[in-house]
Amino acid sequence: MLIMELTTVWFALITILWAGYFLLEGFDFGVGILLPFLGRDNRERRLLINTIGPVWDGNEVWLIVAGGATFAAFPEWYATLFSGFYLPLLLILAALIIRGVAFEYRGKRDGEQWKTRWDWSIFVGSLLPAILWGVAFGNIVRGVRLDEHHEYVGSFFNLLNPYSLLGGLTTLVLFTLHGAVFLALKTDGEMRQRANALASRIGIPAVAIAAAFLIWTAIAHFDGVGVALFAVAALALVGALVANRLGREGWAFIATGATLVLAVVGLFVTLFPDVMPSSLDAANSLNVDNASSTPYTLKVMTWVAVFFTPIVLLYQGWTYWVFRKRLTVEKIPV
């Protein structure tokens, strides 16, 4: 009984970690994607980078913790996921490395060509994960080719199916919209107006694409709670567009964040109790029971999470509070 309860607890905690990652890293990716287009010159691009400068690396910690929690709580899931999705996850890792290096190296030398090269590196390092995370989660929910040993027997091209590609397009437009709303919230003057206008233009296709993906998910994998969460996520997305048009960037950012969180939670609720369904035979699927660690491991992890999670949340919340003020291009050195 204890092992069943703890596996459910850790499935829920991993859901929260992924939702937090999409919420926080989502606007980071959005800013990176918009960097070469919204920033017209070096000062403006420096302004955009400064909006996420104090927090982007802290936001990536959510990914590390989510991966570590999956490895410790559900090692079979971790092993199958990272072996079957090896190439897309390797591409994500390479993109994140390039992106991190670009943030650090961009200001190390003067010269327009040097800075432009790293700006495009930030763009690529943000674009690839924004697409590939949606593709990966789309495949997890849809189901993949697992044999009786819970090993992935498909190819890379099996992962590029219409449903998962739509999932990748969904995360791309939602992250880009989330980033545009964040920039409207964190900047002032002309940049704020341009970011606000861009968010309005992105919003309509974002609603259409996200709605198509969520409706497809609800039809193919019907779950009452999941459908309810998807419906609220859709309403939050529409509310974000209304708030953005009214110039209420704070409410718009809360709404786009709620959209991402509710969508991720809805996908995990739809997935439960499976963690990686098999498209070949339901008996081959990995679930919270056959993929979990021992009861002792889960118990120790639970106590560690109880003590350290509040500390991490308080520290990150304090960081956002310290760097809460709007930025303007006038304060960027020429």
Quick: pLDDT tens for 269-328: 999 989 999 988 888 899 998 888 888 888 888 888 888 888 888 988 898 898 888 888
Place of tokens 């439960």: 272
pLDDT digits (tens, 9 = 90+) for 45-81: 999 999 998 888 888 889 999 999 999 899 999 999 8
289 DSSP assignment: T
**Percentage of residues of the chain with pLDDT beyond 90:** 56
pLDDT at 2 over 80: no
Q: What angle do helix axes 249-271 and 224-245 make, rounded to 10 degrees? A: 170
Which one is predicted more confidently, 218 or 4?
Answer: 218
Report residue 4's pLDDT band, with 50, 70 and 90 as the boundaries: low
Of the listed ranges 15-19, 194-198, 216-220, 233-237, the least confidently predicted one is 216-220
179 φ/ψ angles, rounded to the nearest 5 degrees: -70, -40
pLDDT at 170 over 90: yes
pLDDT (mean) for 39-49: 90
**Percentage of residues of the chain with pLDDT beyond 70:** 99
Q: Which pLDDT score, from 0 to 100, does residue 316 have?
A: 86
Q: How many CB atoms lie within 10 A of CB 268?
A: 22
pLDDT digits (tens, 9 = 90+) for 138-163: 999 998 999 888 888 888 888 889 99
Roughly how many angstroms between the first and final C-alpha of the chain, as a whole number?
64
**Opening angle at CA 241, ends 236 and 244, nearest 5:** 120
3-class secondary-structure state, position 327:
strand
- Distance between CA atoms of 142 and 246, rounded to whole angstroms? 38
Could you give the count of Cα atoms lying within 13 Å of 57 in the half-sphere of its Cβ?
Answer: 9
CB-count exposure of residue 318 (10 Å: 0-12, 13-18, 19+): exposed
CA of residue 4 relative to chain centroid, distance: 28
Report residue 12's pLDDT band, with 50, 70 and 90 as the boundaries: very high
**Which are the contacts of 281, defined by CB distance < 8 A and separation ≥ 6?**
148
| pTM, to two decimals | 0.93
pLDDT digits (tens, 9 = 90+) for 249-261: 999 999 999 999 9
Which two structure tokens, joined as six digits, stand for 231? 């419906």
- Distance between CA atoms of 129 and 94, rounded to whole angstroms? 10
pLDDT digits (tens, 9 = 90+) for 204-242: 999 999 999 989 998 888 788 888 999 999 999 999 999
pLDDT at 334 over 70: no
CA of residue 299 relative to chain centroid, distance: 28
- Distance between CA atoms of 35 and 123, rounded to whole angstroms? 7
Q: Which pLDDT score, from 0 to 100, does residue 319 have?
A: 87
54 DSSP assignment: T
- Distance between CA atoms of 259 and 230, rounded to whole angstroms? 8
Quote the strand ranges of 124-243, DSSP E: none
Candidate ranges 16-20, 109-113, 224-228; pick with highest mean pLDDT: 16-20
Nearest to 99 by CA among 76, 69, 127: 127
Q: Which pLDDT score, from 0 to 100, does residue 1 have?
A: 46
Domain housing 159 = 2-331
Place of tokens 């939702």: 19
Total domains present in the chain: 1
Beta-bridge partners for 327: 187
